[in-house]
Chains A and B, each alone.
Chain A
Amino acid sequence: MDDSWQEQAILRSDKLAERVLQSRSSRRSILRRAAALGLSAPIVGGLLAACGGDDPAATTAATTAPGPDATATPVVPGPDATATPPAPSTGPTATPPPPGTGPTATPAAEATATAVAVDDGREEGRPGGTMFFGLLRDPIAFDPHINYGASSSSLQGNVYDTLVEYAVDGSLTGALAEGWEASSDGLEYTFTLRQGVTYHDGATFESEDVIATFDRIMDEATGATRRPQLLNVAAYTADDDYTVTLSMTQPFATLLAVLATPETVIADKDWLESGVDPTQNMNGTGPFMLDEFEPNVRFVLVKNPNYWKPGLPYLDRIEQVPIPDDAARVNAIRSGEINFVEYVPWQNMAELNDDANYTLYQGFDLYNIVRLNPQRPPLDNKLVRQALNFAIDREAVIAVAFGGQGEEMTVGLFQTVSPWYNQELHGHWTYDPDRAMELLAEAGVDPTTVTLDFVVATISVHSDTAQVVAQYLQELGFGINIIQQDVPALTERRTTGDYQMMQDGLSLSYPDPDSYSTYFAIGGAAHARGVGYENETLDALLAQGRSEVDRDARQAIYLEFERELLEDAPWIFVLFRPQAEASVVTMKGYVRIPGIGLNTEAYMEYVWIDE
C-alpha cells in the first residue's frame, strides 16, 4: 500500500500535536489517535458503514463549479443532436482525461483535457462491452420520484430521463425537453418536448406523461423527494402533445436545477396508471433498460437500442453489484471482478490514482459540518457559536480524518471553485483559539463549566471528523460527551431536533445557493424546522434570491446572505471531504460533471471501453 498519505497524516498531526501541547493533551495521545484513525479506518469503517446503513451524505451529491445558470432568459439548447455516431473502425484517438490528481485537481480540469471532442464536449467512444459496477449499497427500491441514496439514483438515473440535464461543463441543457422559454416576468416556463422518444415498453413519450409525473410528485401520498421544492409551481398544463407550460406563484430561479435532479424523472402515464409497482419495476426513456435483478446480488441493465441520443449508449450492459464493505469493494476492482467502483475509501484514493491500471475520479462534493441546536444553551448565543467555529483547526482535521485530502470550509457551503463562491469572504473561519476565548468571555460563558453533547453516526467519515473536532473543543475547556448512533437513530434525532451538537455530512441538493434555504430558511426542512432555527434576515434574503432572475443581482444577494450566515454561525463549518469513483484505465468517458458530483453516475450512456 502506498503509505504517503499516512506519512502526511502523521506529519500534519505532529503539527496538530504541537499546538495542542500547549494545553492539557499529551503529544502522544494525539499521535496515537491519528494513527488509530488512519490505520483502523479501512476495516472498522467498512464494518460500521455496513452496519450503520448507507453513507448518508451521499444521497444527493452535488458540488459547485460552473453551476447551472438558471436565468430566465430563453435558452434553446440543441443538446445531443450533434453527437456523431460512433466509428468503431477507426477507434478513438483521444487520450483519456487525466484522473483527479489529489486535492488540487478540479473536475473542470478533467473536462477540458479531452483531445478529440465532439460538439457536446465529449469524447467519441466505441460501442460494446459490459460495465461491472460496484455499488456502496443495495438499491432498495426503484420509485422514480423518491431518493433512496446514491446507489439507487445511479440505477434510476440511467433508466429514466429528466426534462433538463447537465452538460459535461456543468451547464443545463435539454433532455426530454428540447428547449424552453421563460416569460419576461419569470412566472411561466414553456417546455418544448422532444418528439419520437419511446419508453422501454414501446409507448410514446408525450406531454400527458409530464403532467402525470407532476401529478404524482405533487400528490402527498407519493412522498416525492422534490415536492417541497416544487410547491412554487402553481399549475402545469399540456398545451399540445409536445408542449408543457409551468406557472409559478413567484419567480423561481432554481426551477431548471430542480427539474434536472434525478428525482424528477418522467414516467409514462399509462404505465403509472396500470397499477404496476414502481418500486419493483422500471420503465423509462433512458439509455439502459432494467433486465433482471436480485436484491443484494445484482441489477442488470441492458442497452436501449431505441435511445433518443444518436449512437448512444456505448455499453451493451451494466451489471451493478452491491458491495457494502469498503475493503471488499476495493478488492473487487483490484482482482478484476468489477471494472467501475463508487465510494472509493479515502485511504485507497492515492493508491488507485498512482496505479497506471486505474483511473480515479475525485471531487470534494460533500461537506462535513456540525449542527448546533440554538435551543440548547449555551448554543443559543451566537457568540458561543462563533467561538466554536474559531476553535477548530480545519487543516489538522483534514490531515487526521482524511489523510490531508479535503478542502477547508472557511465560508459557507460552496467550494472555492464554484462560481457562487464569494471570494470577498474567503478565509473568514480560521483557527484562532484566542479569538474563541475572547468571544466566550464576551458571552459570559466559562467553557470549563459546560459539557456539550455531541451526536455522531457510526460511520468513519463522520466519526473521525467528530473525534478531532471534539478534541479542539476540549482544548477550550469544554467537556464533550460523544454519543455514537447508527443512521436511523441519528435520522430520528435530526428530524425531531433532539440533539445539542450533531456531526453531519451533507451535499447540496442542486448547485445553486438557493440550496441554503433547505437548511436556513424559517421552517427549512433539512435543519431549521428540526431545531426551530429562525433568522429573519437570512429568510428574507433567501426569498429575495429565489425570486430574482438576474445572475449578478443574485450573487450580490447571496453575498449579503453569507455575511449574515457567518455572523449568526448556525453550524460549525468544517471541511469538504474527498469523494471518488474509480475504473479500470480502459474504461473511458466518465467525467464528473461539475456541480453534481456523484450524480454523474446517472450519465453512463457516455461511458465506453477501449480494448
Chain B
Amino acid sequence: MGAYLIRRTISTIVLLYLIVTVVFLLLHLLPGDPAMTILGGIDANPTEEDIARVRERLGLDRPLYVQYLDWMGSLLRGDLGTSFVNNRSVADDLFTRLPRTMMLIMPAVILAVLLGMPMGIIAARFRKSLVDPGISSFALIGFSVPVFVSGLLLVYLFSLKLGWLPANGYVSPADDFIGFLKRAVMPIVTLSLGPMAITMRMTRSSMLEQMGLDYVRTARAKGLTEFATMYRHVLRNALLPVVTVVALQFGAMFAGSVLVELIFNWPGVNSYLLTSISVRDYPVVQAIVLVIATIFVLINFLTDVSFAMFDPRIRHD
C-alpha cells in the first residue's frame, strides 16, 4: 500500500507539472497580446512604442523560457502573481471566487446523489413495472438536455412566469442568507440534473447486475426478506462503481458550471476564468487552471487511493 501511495503521489505531481507547463505554453502561443488589451481593447489604437512599454512593464519582452522559469519560481514560493489588467492579487480574487463555485458544485453533487441513488434503486427494484421506464426516461431527459436549455427553462418558469425567484445574480450568504438561497437554488438544480441522471442510471444498472448473481439467490434461499437482501447485500456491492462515477462527476461539474455561472450571472471562478481569457490576463488564467487542475487531480487521486484500500486487486496492478 505504501509503495502504491508513493507511486501515485509522484505521478500526480508530474501530471500537475505537465498541465501547468502546457497551459503556460498554450496561453503564450495563443494569438492576442495582453499589452494591446490593457491599452484599451478593441477600439484603442496604441502605437508600437505604447505596446512595447507595456510589454516591458509586464515582463513580456523577455524570452519565453525566462518568463517560464520566473513563473515556476514564484509558484514554488507559493506566489500566484498579480493580474496584468488591474494589479490585484490573483490569489485574493481566486480564493474569493472559488468558494462561490463550490457553493454550487457541492450542493449539486449532494442533491444528485440524494435523488439519483434512490431513483436508481427504485427503478431496479421495480424493473418490471412502469416505474422503471418512467424514471429512466426522466433520467434520459436530465442527461441529454444541456444546462443552457434547462437553466433558461427554469428561469422562464420560476422568474418570468411565476416571479418566485430572481432570474440571476449573487449576494453573499453573510449579507443576506435568504437572498443567497433564492439565487442559488436554480443554478444548483440546473447543475445537478446531469449528474443526477448519471447517478440514477449507474445505480440502476449496478443493482441489476448484482441482483442476478448467485449470492443474492443464496440470501433469498436462506430466508432473508427482500428488503434485507436488497439493502444489506445488493446495494452495498452495487455502490462501488457508483462512487467512482460520482467522484468523476464532481470534476466534470467544473466544466458544467462554466455555462451555469454565465446563465445565472454567478461570480464564481469560471466566470473569472472566462473574463481573464478574453483579456489575455496570463497570470490569472494560469493560476485558475492550476487550481482547478489540482482539485480535479486530487479528487481522482483520493478516489484511486480509497479504491485501493477497499479492493486489494487494484493496488497490485
Contacts and interface: CB of A to CB of B under 8 A. Distances in A.
B37 interface: yes
Given A146-B40, A225-B40, A331-B155, A51 B45 contact: no
A506 interface: yes
Given A56-B42, A225-B40, A525-B47, A280 B166 contact: no
Contacts of A137: 275
B32 A46 contact: no
Contacts of A518: 45
Contacts of B280: 488
Nearest to B85: A140
Interface string A463-487: 0000000000000000000000111
A206 interface: no
Contact of B87 (A53, A280, A489): A280
A411 interface: no
A362 to B, nearest CB: 21
B86 A43 contact: no
A488 B33 contact: yes
Interface residues of B, number: 54
A531 B107 CA distance: 54
Given A221-B53, A331-B160, A486-B32, A59 B42 contact: yes
A138 interface: yes
B50 A220 contact: yes
Nearest to B57: A221
Contacts of A337: 166-169
B93 interface: yes
Interface stretch (A266-274, A320-328, A433-441): A320-328
A423 interface: no
A526 B45 CA distance: 5
Contact of B42 (A47, A280, A328, A491): A491
B85 A328 contact: no
Contact of B41 (A46, A149, A506): A149
A449 interface: no
A324 B170 CA distance: 14
Interface string A204-229: 00000000000000001101010010
B152 interface: yes
B86, B160, B259 — most chain A CB neighbours (10 Å): B86
A90 interface: no
Nearest to A509: B43
A248 to B, nearest CB: 21
B267 A223 contact: no
Nearest to B50: A223
A57 interface: yes
A325 B263 CA distance: 6
Contact of B265 (A140, A332, A526): A332
B297 interface: no
A137 B265 CA distance: 11
B275 A138 contact: yes
Interface residues of A, number: 63
Contacts of A323: 168-169, 265
A59 B42 CA distance: 8
Contacts of B262: 46-47, 50, 324-325, 328
A283 interface: no
B264 to A, nearest CB: 7
B191 to A, nearest CB: 16
Nearest to B158: A335
A525 B43 CA distance: 10
B214 interface: no
A225 B152 CA distance: 39
30 contacts: A47-B148, A47-B262, A52-B278, A53-B279, A54-B42, A54-B278, A57-B42, A138-B275, A140-B279, A141-B85, A147-B41, A220-B53, A277-B87, A295-B93, A324-B271, A325-B265, A327-B152, A328-B168, A328-B265, A332-B169, A335-B159, A337-B166, A488-B278, A488-B280, A489-B30, A489-B32, A492-B33, A495-B51, A518-B45, A526-B45
For the complex of A and B, the 8 pairs showing the least CB-CB separation, nearest first, are A488-B32, A56-B42, A525-B45, A53-B278, A59-B43, A335-B167, A489-B31, A331-B167
Interface of B: 30-34, 36-47, 49-51, 53-54, 85-88, 93, 96-97, 148, 152, 155, 159-160, 163, 166-170, 259, 262-265, 267, 271-272, 274-275, 277-280
Given A324-B274, A335-B167, A491-B33, 16 more contacts: A46-B262, A50-B278, A54-B41, A57-B42, A59-B40, A141-B85, A148-B40, A220-B50, A295-B88, A297-B170, A327-B263, A335-B160, A486-B278, A492-B36, A506-B43, A529-B45
